[in-house]
Amino acid sequence: MRRARAVRSFFSSGFSRGGRWSWRRERRREAALWLWVFALGGAAAVAWAALFGAWARKAPERCAPKTRALGARCCPEGQALVEGQCRGQPKGCPEGLQLAVRPQLGCVASLEPARVAGGRLELAPNDWEAEGVVERRVVEVRSFRLDRTEVTVDAWRRCSAAGACDASPAPSSAAPAPSATSGQTESPAPSAPAEPGVPVTGITASQAERYCAFAGGRLPTFDELLFAAAGPEGRRFPWGPHGLVCRRASFGLEDGPCATGGTGPELAGSRPGGATPAGILDLVGNVAEWSRGPEGELRLFGGSYRSKVASQLKSWSSEPPRVGDDVGFRCAYDLPDGR
């Protein structure tokens, strides 16, 4: 009886009056709907893959406000990149930089020193990259002042005009390494591109010391640069414990990861995001900097625009002395009471 009622119910539903064709039409509609859904999903997946791929290929953000990426450089807006240098009339200068008019237009950082409060740092390997490299020791420094940026071409020209620095710097890419204590070399005077705001490079330690004496200071010790970068808390980077990104330091410009084809440093002081709490800039990256160790030996501090890995750019990073187009300096100044 149940089967008979089911059959009657089935036929009474209209199957005998075209229900079979209605049922087929419904199935076709459902199939078409599902095909449409799958097609939309596939298109969305393709679009997402393309978007993700474009994002992955996009160059890391590396230029500060009022500058734009041109090749491997970050030039002030309004300037053009000519033979690796930012040339022309800038529309404005990045934070902390001012327009220099003579002998060439360009944005230049002020070398006004910043005070570094003295203190004590218990230096120790604080990550796997420091193991076997960083010696466990106590670093103690008296308060001092330190140039906020590396010494620029503009500042070097003023020293040269006063007769205290070499006059016509020449390229130094083939210069031999200086001795570990004197920094002397038989190379010609240091290289200084015409662009006024970049760090002067190709400097020997003795040339750097002559400039610092002219400016009323001296070459900093390695421990002073280390303490300025790390602070008493032992920061891994000058700005904090992490975050080595292209907008905070000028590194990886020659062969990645921040750019390719770079042939020189960026404008000194043009990465405000990489400042220490005291406002000191470019302590890692841009150019490696001359310093003296506890026995008077020379050491380079902080890596350069060529550095590619974090271990070359930590607050404790150093390398043997050499002269090159990625080597510059800044000056330190004693405080009367050392406080």
Closest by CA position to 330, among listed 147, 115, 198? 147
Full DSSP string of 307-337: --SGGGSSTT-EE-----TTEE---EEE-TT
At residue 242, the pLDDT reads 85
Domain ranges in the chain? 111-339
At residue 106, the pLDDT reads 93
CATH superfamily of 111-339: paralog of FGE (formylglycine-generating enzyme) (3.90.1580.10)
Closest by CA position to 215, among listed 335, 338, 333? 333
- For 221, phi then psi, to 5°, come to -80, 160
What does each of the 339 residues of the chain score in pLDDT, given as a tens digit? 444 444 344 334 443 444 444 545 665 666 555 555 455 555 544 444 444 343 334 445 789 899 999 999 999 999 999 988 999 999 999 999 999 887 778 999 988 999 999 999 987 666 656 555 667 788 899 999 999 999 999 999 999 999 999 875 543 333 444 444 445 543 444 444 579 999 999 999 999 999 999 999 999 999 999 999 999 999 989 999 888 899 999 999 999 899 999 989 999 999 999 999 999 999 999 999 999 998 899 999 999 999 988 777 777 677 889 999 999 999 999 998 766
Q: How far apart are CA 37 and CA 291, in angstroms?
A: 66
At residue 316, the pLDDT reads 63
At residue 101, the pLDDT reads 80
